[in-house]
Amino acid sequence: SSETFWTTTGMFPQEFIIGFPKCVKISKVAIQCYLVRTLRIERSVSKDPVDFEECIEKDLQHTEGQLQMEEFPLPDFQATYLRFIIKSAFDHFVSVHRVMAEGT
């Protein structure tokens, strides 16, 4: 539900990690968020959430009063864990409403 969300505590960077039951092949990641300026996505193929490597970093467009919706195509991409790092924001607090990963 886009009515529920995770919010930051006010200082940056902020991060959260999503884990999969095993290493999966991901073709696309999408995120719905609010007031995020710079977002980095990292991956780990380890059994534990360690040894992350940067996959993509992007400056998002500011959309006043609307959720930001960004899609990241990731061809031939495998991960056991995804780490999302919000490096900077357009305000003191940001929110993440939905993260979607497509693949097999």
Q: What is the pLDDT of residues 37-52, one digit of tens each?
A: 999 999 999 999 999 9
> What pTM value is reported for the model?
0.92
Q: What is the pLDDT of residues 61-79, one digit of tens each?
A: 998 889 999 999 988 899 9
The CATH classification number of 13-101 equals 2.60.120.260
Per-residue pLDDT at 30 exceeds 80: yes
> Tokens 């940001």 sit at which residue?
94
d(CA 3, CA 39): 21
Per-residue pLDDT at 2 exceeds 70: no
Annotated domain spans of the chain: 13-101
Half-sphere exposure of 64 (CA within 13 A, CB side): 0
Q: What is the pLDDT of residues 85-94, one digit of tens each?
A: 999 999 999 9
